Amino acid sequence: MTEEQGGLERYDRQLRIEGWDQENLGRARVVVVGVGATGCEISKNLALMGVGKLILVDNDVIELSNLSRQMLFLDEDIGKPKAIVAADRLRRMNPLIEVEPYFEDVRNLGESIFEGADVIVSCLDNWPVRRWLNSLAVELDKPLVDVAMEGFYANLQVVIPKKTACLECHGEDLIPKETQLAECTLRRRRPEDLVQDLKQAGIEISQKIAEKLFEHDIKTIYDLKYAHEGVLMRLDKKTLEVVRRIREKLKPKLPALQSVAAMISGLASTEIVKILHGNKLGEPIKGLLVYDGLAGQFTIVELERSSECFVCGDLVEEGLTITVKPDETILDLKRRIAETFSIPDPEILYREWRLQDDKRISELGVKEGDTLYITTSRRFMPFQLKVQFHKEEVTTP
């Protein structure tokens, strides 16, 4: 029996589905970001169905508590990188496919990894990176399938850039309020600010520990609660022990069920296959699919694409506008940008300069209609803001 014949026999039952195109599936390339409960399930499904190349990205390592719902891992894998272990298991499940793992923060990977993707899958457990991945998918015009779960609840959204709502279009309603508050707060912070915030929460840490946390971009209570294991493992032993104790007080681990992970991942895998077939097996779902396991109920929340969305909206290419006053400082402007676009770390570029916080608009030679470029860890690419001066401040020559 040839390898090709063996491959066809392997996929015999799905080949019987009217409209199924195994050859097309075998050429497909899917990037799965996050190899936790849903990431394991989706990767497994796509591997067994014969998706030609899977790229797995995760910067976490395997813990004992993962084993009840992350079915690609065993006891012997504890402490090992999730992406690498998962890739090895998937190759054993289907030796006819290619699996490429990255034990890395997805934001550190090169653009070329995503340019050849047919679908990007978000199985992430935090909004900052989900927002970044959403912007990347829109920028590269790649379909994004976003999956999330908590306890008996789960949701699924398919983003087709410029056609359906992206994750930012309704962020004000869908992003948790705690996250929104953290995202809107400008992170012009010092280690002593973190010490004070924790003190108000009834937790004492030293200035030295706070300084070490800042070195790893852990600057807020929110960062402490949601920092990935891969980031924490770079801390020295003493600092890591302190962080573990703080996290136990601040953030009880979210409830999670294997049955819910398998259910929502099965639906997500089906949507991915539909996309890879060019809608020949039906169109992907529109809106946000929400599953309530306790009630045994599925709901689809209609989501219209927002023309004013600062990621996928119609005004993005033309450039959004911002009104400025000549006497305001760059720090003042950054605060307004942080609040308006829910980004905690904006940096402003004008011409060839990165603008300093203490400078005033009037000192920089900025003119009406000039373009400012805003960079942030929540966006894959900088976005543009066109300058408008406050009408009362405009002077005529």
Please indicate, yes or no, whether residues 25 and 163 belong to a single structural domain of this protein. yes
Tell me, what's the pLDDT at 251? 63
CB 235 within 8 A of CB 212: yes
Closest by CA to 267, choosing from 164, 157, 163, is 157
Cα–chain center distance at 77: 25
The answer to whether residues 283 and 135 belong to one domain is yes
Domain count, the chain: 3
Q: Does residue 310 form part of some domain?
A: no
Q: What is the CATH number of the domain that holds 214?
A: 1.10.150
Same domain, 231 and 297: no
Per-residue model confidence (pLDDT) at position 2 = 43
Q: Do both 164 and 240 map to the same domain? A: no
Q: For tokens 């190899």, what's the residue? A: 35
Angle, alpha carbons 36-187-365 (nearest 5°): 125
Domain final position from 301, 336, 367: 301
Query: Do 25 and 51 form a contact (C-beta atoms < 8 A)?
Result: yes
Q: Is the pLDDT at 396 greater than 50, yes or no?
A: no
* Residue 20: per-residue pLDDT: 96
Instruction: Give a yes or no: residue 357 inside a domain.
Output: yes
pLDDT band with cut points at 50, 70 and 90 for residue 392: low
pLDDT for residue 216? 86
Measured between alpha carbons, how far is 244 from 260 in angstroms, rounded to an integer? Answer: 27
* 317-374 confidence digits (pLDDT tens): 667 889 999 999 999 999 999 988 988 889 999 988 999 999 999 999 899 999 999 9
Q: Work out the burial of residue 99: count CB atoms within 10 Å of its CB; fewer than 13 is exposed, 13-18 middle, 19 or more buried.
A: buried
User: Could you read off the pLDDT of 11-24 as tens digits, one per residue?
Assistant: 999 999 999 999 99
- Condensed to tens digits (0 to 9), the pLDDT of residues 83-138 reads 999 999 999 999 999 999 999 999 999 999 999 999 999 999 888 899 999 999 99
Same domain flag for 225 and 295: no
In a domain? residue 312: no
The boundaries of the domain holding residue 206 are 186-250
CATH code assigned at 337: 3.10.290.20
The DSSP code for 364 is T
Shared-domain flag, residues 207 and 166 = no
User: Are residues 150 and 19 located together in one domain of the fold?
Assistant: yes
Q: Residue 24 domain-assigned?
A: yes
Q: Which parts of the chain are beta strand (E)?
A: 29-33, 53-57, 98-102, 119-122, 144-150, 153-159, 288-292, 297-301, 320-324, 347-350, 353-354, 371-375, 383-389
Domain termination residue (choose one: 250, 266, 283): 250
Say if 18 falls within a structural domain.
yes
Q: Which of 286, 253, 285 is nearest to 125 (CA)?
A: 253
Instruction: Write down the pLDDT at residue 45.
Output: 98
Q: Is residue 268 domain-shared with residue 378, that is, in the same domain? A: no
Does residue 146 lie in a domain region?
Answer: yes
Q: Report the chain's mean pLDDT, rounded to a whole number.
A: 90
- 246 or 261, higher pLDDT: 261
| Same domain (yes/no): 216, 75 | no
Assess whether 222 and 365 both reside in one domain: no
pLDDT digits (tens, 9 = 90+) for 268-314: 999 999 999 998 999 999 999 999 999 999 999 999 999 889 899 88
Residue 394 reports pLDDT greater than 70: no
Confidence at 7, pLDDT banded by 50, 70, 90 = low
pLDDT of 64 reads 94
- pLDDT bin (cut points 50, 70, 90) of residue 1 is very low
Is there a domain that residue 313 lies in?
no
Q: How far is CA 327 from the centre of its chain?
A: 37
For the stretch 159-193, pLDDT in tens is 999 999 999 999 888 877 777 777 777 766 789 98
The residue among 392 and 319 whose pLDDT is bigger is 319
User: Are residues 333 and 286 both part of a single domain?
Assistant: no
Local confidence band at 395 (pLDDT 50, 70, 90 cut-offs): very low
Note whether 210 and 293 are same-domain residues. no
Does residue 262 belong to any structural domain of this protein?
Answer: yes
pLDDT at 190: 85
Domain boundary among 212, 233, 250: 250
For position 12, which CATH number holds? 3.40.50.720
